[in-house]
Amino acid sequence: MAHTQDEVLAGLAELVKEETGIATESVQLDKSFTDDLDIDSISMMTIVVDAEEKFGVKIPDDQVQNLVTVKDAVDFIVGAQSE
């Protein structure tokens, strides 16, 4: 069953917290993973792979660089669910 945008955001925030310790409330749609949340490329890959498993989607490596903001990631996951 597909997750809503809010559910994906909440789930993604949990994964970010698990990997980096950043509080879930800091993970908001307009935040940049690198500039605002200070997440490095290694943590980003870990979060991506965790998100693939959590939401049952594939996020190709060449798409990861396009996931600049949290909204980019949430939108990609929501869209990928329907494919």
Task: Please select the residue that binds another protein; options are 7, 14, 36, 52, rule is CB under 8 A.
Answer: 52
The single-letter code of the amino acid at 39 is I
Q: Which residue is it, tokens 């600049």?
A: 68
Binding pattern to another protein, positions 4-43, x when CB under 8 A? Answer: ---------------xxx--------------------x-
Closest CA to 23 of 10, 42, 7: 10
Under the binding rule (CB under 8 A), the answer on residue 49 touching another protein is: yes
- Under the binding rule (CB under 8 A), the answer on residue 1 touching another protein is no
SS3 (DSSP) at 65: coil
